[in-house]
Structure formats: structure tokens, C-alpha cells
Amino acid sequence: MPRQPVEADFPAPAVVKIFPAPENTPLTHAVVLLHGLGDTLDNFAHLADRLPLPQATIIVLQAPNPMPFDLGGFHWGHDLVFARNPNDANDEQLTPEAEFGVAKNLLGQVVIRDVLVGKCGFTAATDIILWGYAQGAMVALDVAASHTPVRAVVSVGGWMPIYVRPRDILDERPTEVLVCGGASAKSDITAERYELLTAIFPHLKRLRFNKPDDVMPSTTDEMAPILRFLLMILIPDELRKQGLIK
């Protein structure tokens, strides 16, 4: 059985907050939360503190790069990238698209391989789950595609970075992926981006929130399918006993 990680296990530049598994439950999984562009780990720390996940320790990881110009917050890319607004040729908008080499090394090599696997005894392919929002979700998907596969990814409003192509992935990833987003044309999870994910991750599910934008779930109804997805990984035997899955 893996051991509970502590903050001292994580070398710089990793900045984390850790929420141990509930008392009197066996520790079997690690869930890593990745915030969005321009945010800090604090908002996801509030989420982690409220997640009812048995048998799992939750690690909230902060992006490695501070936002410029005293804007506050952090981002996952080498640089900030601006793209032309499709509705206004004279307007450029900040986009989550970026090169994620540093962030991928931080998450894939330092956090997953060196700490969770190397020091704490988790197995990446069976025990580690990534949950990212927007740019953080893009990093999670990129790591799951290019590093040792993890058990599952929850992506809210994130897609595979544009530089990743299925032909570059030598084999289909066994990672279970839940892609969440809005239910309108405003969603960034376009048909093309979803098709790219299906080519890499055959175990892919989609969840559309009853709202136009790709924002984090804010109601019990929105959170319930994500929790069910996670619980089917964490405690499938208990759910089978209750008749909730076959």
C-alpha cells in the first residue's frame, strides 16, 4: 500500500497543498488538482477540502510560472499566448494554448515519477488521477498522452494542445478521460478537439454542463457525474455491492 505524501517530499519548484485520505480508510489513490491560467492553488485547495473522496490523498499543484506585470496568479506555459478574436479582427485575446515543457516535467517527472511513484509507492497507471481546469487540464492531458499513462484524467474546459498529434503517440493511452464543458457553441471543446482526444484516448467520456461556458461545476447536479466517475475508480467493489455499477 502506498504511503501518504507530505509537502517535504516535493522538491522545488513544486508548490503543493496536500489533503490526506480520510482517517480509517486505506490509501489507494492520489488525485492531483491543476488550476487554470492566471489562478493560484488556493481556489482548488478549497475544492480539495470539500471533495468526499475515500481512499485518496489530494495534492493541489501550483503552476510554475508567475503572471507578468504584477497581475497575480500563475500559468503553465513557457510564455503567454494571444490569439485573434474570431469575432473581431482588431482584438487579441489571451489563450490557454502554449508550450508546456516545464510544466510537463514538473507534473510528469517530479510530482508523478519522482515523488508519488518513487518515494510514496503509487503506481501511475492504476493509482494516479489528474483533475485540471482549462490550461491546467491541457497540461494533464498532455502528460497523460506523452508520459507513463495515469489512471484517469478529469478535464474541465481543457483540450489537447495543438502540437500533439495522434501519429506521435505510439500506442493508444489506456487512461480513462472525462471531458467536461458547456453545452453551447461557446464551449472551447469543439468537435475537432474532441475528435483528437478520441484518437488518443479510447476510454473517453464527455459531460456537458447545462450552461454555455466551460466553467468549473458549481452545483450538486454538475458535480455528481464527476464524483461518480471518480468513485467508480476509487471504490468500484463497494459500488458493485450497492448495485450502482455492474
For the chain, domain boundaries: 7-241
CATH of 7-241, one of 3.40.50.300, 3.40.50.2300, 3.40.190.10, 3.40.50.1820: 3.40.50.1820
Rg of the chain on CA atoms, in Å: 17
pLDDT tens per residue, the chain (246 residues)? 899 999 999 999 999 999 999 888 899 999 999 999 999 999 999 999 999 899 999 999 999 999 988 888 999 998 887 775 555 555 567 788 889 999 999 999 999 999 999 999 999 999 999 999 999 999 999 999 988 789 999 999 999 998 887 766 757 788 999 999 998 788 999 999 999 999 899 999 999 998 888 999 989 999 999 999 999 999 876 655 555 555
CA torsion sign for 29, 140, 227, 134 is positive
Distance CA 35, CA 41 (A): 6
Determine the residue type at 30. Answer: A
The two counts, helices (H) then strands (E), for the chain are: 7, 11
